[in-house]
Structure 1
Amino acid sequence: MFRIKRSTHPVDQLLPAGQMGALGLQHVLAMYAGAVAVPLIVGGALGMSKADIGYLINADLLVSGVSTLIQCLGFWRFGVRLPLMQGCTFAAVTPMVFIGTSGGGLTAIYGAVIVSGVLMILLAPLWGRLLRFFPPLVTGTVITIIGLALIPVAVNWAAGGVGAPDFGAPRNLALALGVLLLVLVVQRFAPVFLSRISVLAGIVAGTLVAIPLGFTDFSGVSDAPVFGVSTPFHFGLPTFDVAAIIAMTVVMLVTMTETTGDILAVGETTGDILAVGEMTGSPVDGARLADGLRADGLSTVLGGVFNTFPYTAFGQNAGLVGLTKVYSRFVVAVGGAILVILGLFPILGEIVARIPAPVLGGAGIVMFGTVAAIGIRMLAKVAFNDNGNLMVVAVSLGVGLIPTAVPNIYSDFPNWFRTIMESGISAGALCAVVLNLLFNHTTRTR
């Protein structure tokens, strides 16, 4: 464990440069696999070329780094100034895939992302009052739905990717299983530092094994520019579809809840905010919480402008803060700076875009299953001594998983309805919020 001086608050301490670099890199490694998963999923679902997916990945890394710097260092009323790493939220994946594949394309996705980011900025000061409508009952249910809805994505990857000529071939599934087993072995037996990046280790090792077996070809990577900057609206000017905006607004509410949990987890809660945990001992009141959510909103707007997606604080990095007991926000800011540097080298995005689908499938089962497990862990805090809470979870899970179980069930409905309901995440979230209001915020008559 690193020794640091106690003359200033732990959140504001500056460590020696070598330690800052090592710990910042560790934060990047802990979140890297999750960070690049969203552009990989969305780009693959939209049938984009390897070069375009690589562009999405680099844009994501660049904006992730900028978002982290805003959140950790802050300016004016943007940024909670706590050790929080930012990345693309999984909550937006399913809605964005449907918006993109139902005719809107990337421009409709980016229009909805920009509007939802602006709404997040405007809603941030009021969020403390609305937080009681998003208890663990609602957030746990929604996060569970997110994980379960993403599992089919990982399974399709494991089989070789939708549309692959060898889809379901035994060698594809064997490679995915090998990656999955390697992740488990590293998680169980490796030193703590390596176990924190077990998913990334599995992806790297699986790719190295896959190259001589002919699963992928990196020959085109050398054609990519070594250095480049993501330019605004690279894929076209955004378009604004009402149904897409509504679906992304629901995601925005889930994202705000997710970020709130991470902020309260690393800060000591005071005043009008419900206490859910503390690490750093740095007080978080309503105004400071609003600053953190504004940073999320600004990052999301930047994402829509610079060809990437909505942003939230990453829970795995909040957990890493608790594990290392190093609470300096400047350490995480160094991690953000590393992400910015990575985002300026398109060749890195091209390399990630060529990782074989079965390798991603084996790792994805762990990543997306972990998301569902986190939701279940949140639900463990909920009292189920009457049928009200049980009904909220049961019906919301059922409604949220309908599009996953029967993807074409809403094909005869209008597009605005399909945009909202064919995303199990937005459908399940709406259901959970409404049912929670019905069972827990209305007077029961007998």
Structure 2
Amino acid sequence: MTQPHPQAAACAVDQRLPLLQLILVSFQHVLLMYGGAVAVPLIIGEAVGLSREEVAFLITADLLVAGIATLVQSLGIGPMGIRMPVMMGASFAAVGSMVAMAGMPGMGLPGIFGATIAAGLFGMLIAPFMSRIVRFFPPLVTGTVITAIGLSLFPVAVNWAGGGSAASQFGALQYLAIAALVLLTILLINRFLRGFWVNVSVLIGMLLGYLMAGGLGMVDLDGLEQTAWFALVTPMHFGVPEFHLAPILSMCLVVVIIFVESTGMFLALGKITGHEVTPKMLRGGLLCDAGASFFAGIFNTFTHSSFAQNIGLVQMTGVRSRFVTACAGLFLIGLSLLPKAAFLVASIPPAVLGGAGIAMFGMVAATGIKILQEADIGDRRNQLLVAVSVGMGLTPVVRPEFFAHLPHWMEPITHSGIAMATISAVCLNLLFNILGEPERSALTGEHGAH
């Protein structure tokens, strides 16, 4: 299949949709990433021992920073922002390190926020150097990483479809029925309808799933009346950030891992949209990741990165406009100011998300397979690269405890399937194709695919 003309791809990224379509498609992005966005503050809040009200404040702070970071990433401000349809949120890569910090005597949230600020500053310093590694991501590597991203996300969708990790009867018929309704709705709309309806198929499927879940008594709105209508997020709410060397070093490592993940995701998005990601664009995207983390530490939240699951939505809907995610960023800022609205979004049962996730995360993997067709996948060494890298990416997904006996500082790497797949693919491409190029040329008389 031919790639879109660069000018046409650029137009698609800069496309301005009709207002109703813009709102609906952007709201789909919010619904898909919301669970992941609030999960990190929930985990850290519990680890630190915060009250329910304080955890709620952490969540609204995270939504505010995620919204602002998404706006910057999508629209750009000066050198910051990749100017593509990217959603931002609190990164899971830092959870292990932050939980460990929470258990350190005298640390608490000020120490975690101080480490986040320092790591964000460190990230802004190294972003220009990290952006030069684009040449190490040919279609062979990019396709492998995208395939691994989709496959590593798929267990999340299955977990949602079964009712979520907190479900007392995981896999119960009502959960499966709701997930099936959402998935079937998406499939039927994509089969029989066109244009606008396809673009909002995920939203329609989730709306029907939500209504069915409500009819079955699965939507919990307890506490909605007590939730405030309006609230402002104030900086340094939990005290002045504190700076300790060991936590800072740990978080700096996390930022490097986030950069590796984001590089893979940005290049994946470039392939999906048909818009080539240049080193300058990559630098802007990484600067935004780091700047968001710096800003997050001041506004009571944690390291931020791009959300892989929203890449699947771009592929699923075919809407590649960055103004869609910019509008989604405005939604997130609004939710941070309106706790009642945030509460309603949070009431969506996991099974509803699961039906949509199965389709979208699978689409990410399918995109990776499509990109691999551009590489010389008939070469045995390239096949070995794909096999080993995808396997490494799935290892922490299949058995999270597999690397439990390695040093704790390696956890941000070993617990991230995306990071494992990316590092493996880049290193094996160096071994087989870049360093092995003279040997291959001598044997075949021509350069291999690299």
Alpha-carbon displacement from aligned partner over 1:363-391 (angstroms, at most 9, x marks no partner): 22223323323332332322223222222
Q: 1:375 aligns with which of 365, 368, 372?
A: 368
Letter paired with 2:335: L
Consecutive unaligned residues in structure 2, runs of 5 or more: 1-9, 444-450
Alpha-carbon displacement from aligned partner over 1:121-180 (angstroms, at most 9, x marks no partner): 334434553210122322322232222222222222222222432223222222222222
| Number of residue equivalences | 414
SS of 1:409's equivalent?
Answer: helix
Q: 1:402 aligns with which of 395, 402, 421?
A: 395
TM-aligned CA deviation for residue 394 of structure 1: 1.0
Find the aligned partners of 1:133 and 1:54 in 2 and give their Cα distance. 42
Equivalent residue, structure 2, for 1:189: 192
1:76-91 to structure 2, matched below 5 A, reads: 76-79=78-81, 82=83, 84-88=84-88
Equivalent residue, structure 2, for 1:432: 425
Q: 1:414 aligns with which of 407, 416, 431?
A: 407
Find the aligned partners of 1:141 and 1:392 in 2 and give their Cα distance. 8
Alpha-carbon displacement from aligned partner over 1:300-344 (angstroms, at most 9, x marks no partner): 4334544255233864687799858xx7x7787555444433332
1:213-252 to structure 2, matched below 5 A, reads: 213-232=216-235, 240=247, 242-243=249-250, 245-252=252-259
TM-score of the superposition, structure 1-length normalised? 0.75
SS of 1:364's equivalent?
Answer: helix
Find the aligned partners of 1:178 and 1:11 in 2 and give their Cα distance. 31
Letter paired with 2:201: S
TM-score of the superposition, structure 2-length normalised? 0.75
Is the Cα contact below 8 Å between 1:242 and 1:416 reproduced in 2?
no
Q: Residues 196 and 63 (structure 1 numbering): CA distance in 2 closer, same or farther, change over 3 Å?
A: farther
Letter paired with 2:304: P
Letter paired with 1:66: I
Find the aligned partners of 1:155 and 1:321 in 2 and give their Cα distance. 21
Letter paired with 1:345: L
Q: 2:34 aligns with which of 17, 33, 36?
A: 36
TM-aligned CA deviation for residue 255 of structure 1: 0.8
Is the Cα contact below 8 Å between 2:385 and 2:429 reproduced in 1?
yes
Find the aligned partners of 1:441 and 1:12 in 2 and give their Cα distance. 32
Letter paired with 1:375: G
Equivalent residue, structure 1, for 2:340: 347
SS of 2:225's equivalent?
Answer: helix
Is 1:310 the counterpart of 2:298? The answer is no
Q: Residues 438 and 201 (structure 1 numbering): CA distance in 2 closer, same or farther, change over 3 Å?
A: same
Is the Cα contact below 8 Å between 2:315 and 2:364 reproduced in 1?
no
Find the aligned partners of 1:139 and 1:111 in 2 and give their Cα distance. 34
Find the aligned partners of 1:112 and 1:425 in 2 and give their Cα distance. 23
Alpha-carbon displacement from aligned partner over 1:209-236 (angstroms, at most 9, x marks no partner): 1123121321311211111233446678
TM-aligned CA deviation for residue 33 of structure 1: 2.7
Find the aligned partners of 1:263 and 1:143 in 2 and give their Cα distance. 11
Is the Cα contact below 8 Å between 1:28 and 1:335 reproduced in 2?
yes
Find the aligned partners of 1:116 and 1:141 in 2 and give their Cα distance. 29
TM-aligned CA deviation for residue 36 of structure 1: 1.3
Q: Residues 27 and 367 (structure 1 numbering): CA distance in 2 closer, same or farther, change over 3 Å?
A: same
Is 1:177 the counterpart of 2:180? The answer is yes
SS of 1:311's equivalent?
Answer: strand
1:313-328 to structure 2, matched below 5 A, reads: 315=311
Q: 1:199 aligns with which of 190, 198, 202?
A: 202
Over the matched positions of the two proteins, sequence identity in percent amounts to 36
SS of 2:30's equivalent?
Answer: helix
SS of 1:417's equivalent?
Answer: helix
Find the aligned partners of 1:394 and 1:260 in 2 and give their Cα distance. 20
Deviates more, 1:178-187 or 1:57-66: 57-66
Is the Cα contact below 8 Å between 1:144 and 1:373 reproduced in 2?
yes
Equivalent residue, structure 2, for 1:256: 263
Alpha-carbon RMSD: 4.1
Q: Residues 362 and 243 (structure 1 numbering): CA distance in 2 closer, same or farther, change over 3 Å?
A: same
Is the Cα contact below 8 Å between 2:27 and 2:331 reproduced in 1?
no
Letter paired with 1:379: L
Q: Residues 341 and 72 (structure 1 numbering): CA distance in 2 closer, same or farther, change over 3 Å?
A: same
Q: Residues 407 and 372 (structure 1 numbering): CA distance in 2 closer, same or farther, change over 3 Å?
A: same
